[in-house]
A and B are shown apart, each in its own frame.
Chain A
Amino acid sequence: MDTNIKKLPPRPVDMQKRIMHWGLAIITIVLIAWSCTGMDFGGIKATAGQIAGAIFNGIFHPDWSYVYNGSGEDLVSQLWQTVCIAFLGTFISAIISLPFAFWAAHTKHKKWYISRTGKIVLAIIRSFPEIVLALMFIKAVGPGSAAGVLALGFHSVGMLAKLFSEAIENLDDGPNEAVTAVGGSKTNITMFSTLPNLMPALISNTLYRFDVSIRSASILGLVGAGGIGYPLIIALQYRQWNRVGIILLGIIIMVIVIDWISGMIRKKLV
């Protein structure tokens, strides 16, 4: 009997590809090995398990008295403050973003370097750490949620203007040409064709950024810029695990509810 039939034909070999794959794999492994050097994993506190247990215990036995006590320092008012910081911060950044977006959109300019510089400016704004911005605003307007609002308002421009400019680049030219054809001026074009067509994308991107801002607003408090982060870091420092638990629970619920609401609105828009 012919036994050859049971054997699969050998796989075709592409030497160049194979060498490249192995090379990349070796580079990755070397990088990972390098990262492990100098890391002190033995320095973990002996009480780590105990504290982790305490935090979990706190999440399941939250400090309900902290939820609302009318003092303005309770969970509900702090969460409300966080939402307000995110709302106002997003609003400010949406306004600042518009001119930046037109600057960075390449379809609006004949010269390539104008939109390219706009894109670089936005990239720099995005890499500037949010916390540093918050600390600078704390120096200017004092600690509190106002600093958080301003930090968020300026930091979000980096991402929001990038999304806006992409929306502008994707716009259909037809309506603009139609307005030009009936004798519309540049302002007419912007007012009657560009902005109305852009509106759904603007609202949807702003809502998305609002989701992100809610998370940012809840960490700005760690450095004293208002919101829920501040009571959390205090509770962690004083080892009030029940309170840590209820604050975490509050943040999780807030984020899920806001995601859900903005998801609903966005679905209606599209």
Chain B
Amino acid sequence: MSNTDKEALMTLPKKKFKFWNLIWVVVFIVGLFVSTDVTHTDLGALFANFNQFTDIFLQMLHPDWAYLGPIMPLLLETIKMAILGTVIGSILAFIYSLLIARNIVKNKAITGILRVIMNIVRTVPDLLLGAIFVAIVGIGPVAGILALAICTFGIVVKLFYEAIETIDPGPIEALTAVGANKLQIIVFAVLPQVITYFISYCLYAFEINVRASTVLGYIGAGGIGLYLQQTLQVFDYAKTGTIILVIIVVVVLIDYVSSKSREALMK
């Protein structure tokens, strides 16, 4: 073997240069500089004030257990809000999903328009909805329930109509063949195939709602978030710590129960 052959074997083949990768890197770095400039983010300022930040944390780590009693009613209100929001949103979503599934409603114009409306509803974040409903119905849990209901609607419709569209068409055809009407087809052919999915999606929405409902009170839409705002405003971080701890426990507990029941459902 000649020397040049050996050299050729010892060196790895060159990697192909990808033009688009370079473009992405440039876009990314420019984006980084621009966004740092626009937001005036200065990590130096954070580290300079870091002891203040950790100070808040340390105070939160000494929760005020006596505060547990007073916050219980609002904690229960938070859970009630999450349940009612989920129920109302899921009922609306159930009807709406049947209307936009293309294997039930054959008219493409109707399903198309209804889908655009659903996608627009999905884009608005829950807290913004809360703020708007506080302006409409006034301060209190009703505003929170309505905001949660609309969020649930967005989540459940999207998942449920896709489940409806992937069902086995056989039972529908069988019922059509014996002369069943639309309602009978839905009740006897569609629902038995998708009802477990529907319940599982509702539980999933419920998990999200429990998280969302804990902060809705901050903008006046009911629930424990109200105390979050009050204690933070008077710098009573020991009480804030209690509230956050309670929120974390409730969220983790409900997440665990509902994800276990979802697993059991899908078995």
Name A's B-contacting residues (CB within 8 A).
Answer: 31-32, 34-36, 38-41, 43-45, 48, 51-52, 55, 80-81, 83-85, 87-88, 91, 123-124, 127-132, 135-137, 139-142, 144-146, 148-150, 215-216, 218-219, 222-223, 226, 229, 232-233, 236, 239, 244, 248, 251-252, 255-256, 259
Contact = CB atoms under 8 A, between A and B. Distances in A.
Contacts of A252: 120, 123-124
B247 A88 contact: no
Interface of B: 31-32, 34-36, 38-42, 45-46, 49-50, 52-53, 56-57, 77, 79-81, 83-84, 87, 119-120, 123-128, 131-132, 134-138, 140-142, 145, 211, 214-215, 218-219, 225, 228, 232, 240, 244, 247-248, 251-252
A222 B40 contact: no
B39 A41 contact: no
22 contacts: A31-B83, A32-B87, A34-B80, A35-B87, A39-B141, A84-B34, A87-B32, A88-B32, A88-B36, A136-B53, A139-B56, A141-B45, A144-B39, A144-B40, A145-B38, A146-B39, A150-B41, A218-B125, A219-B128, A232-B131, A248-B128, A251-B123
B84 A32 contact: yes
Nearest to A138: B232
Q: Which of B87, B131, B135 has the most CB of A within 10 A?
A: B135
B86 to A, nearest CB: 9
A57 to B, nearest CB: 13
Given A139-B52, A139-B56, A141-B49, A45 B124 contact: no
A256 B244 CA distance: 33
Contacts of B120: 252, 256
A127 B39 contact: no
Given A44-B138, A127-B251, A131-B218, A84 B123 contact: no
B46 A236 contact: no
Contact of B84 (A36, A40, A88, A145): A36
B125 A127 contact: no
B262 to A, nearest CB: 13
B123 A48 contact: no
Contacts of B136: 45, 48, 51-52, 55
Contacts of A129: 214-215, 228, 244, 247
Q: Which 3 A-B pairs have the closest CB atoms?
A: A84-B35, A35-B80, A145-B39
Nearest to B232: A135
Nearest to B261: A24
A41 B31 CA distance: 48
Contacts of A123: 252
Contacts of A41: 142
A236 B36 CA distance: 29
A256 B118 CA distance: 12
Contact of A149 (B34, B39, B128): B39
Contacts of A148: 39
A87 B117 CA distance: 28
Contacts of B34: 84
Contacts of B39: 81, 84-85, 88, 144-146, 148-149, 226
Nearest to A51: B136
Nearest to A142: B45
B42 A215 contact: no
Nearest to B214: A129
Nearest to A129: B215
A140 B50 contact: yes
Given A35-B84, A85-B39, A128-B244, A139 B31 contact: no
Contacts of A128: 244, 248
Given A35-B84, A88-B36, A127-B252, A146 B42 contact: yes
A127 B87 CA distance: 23
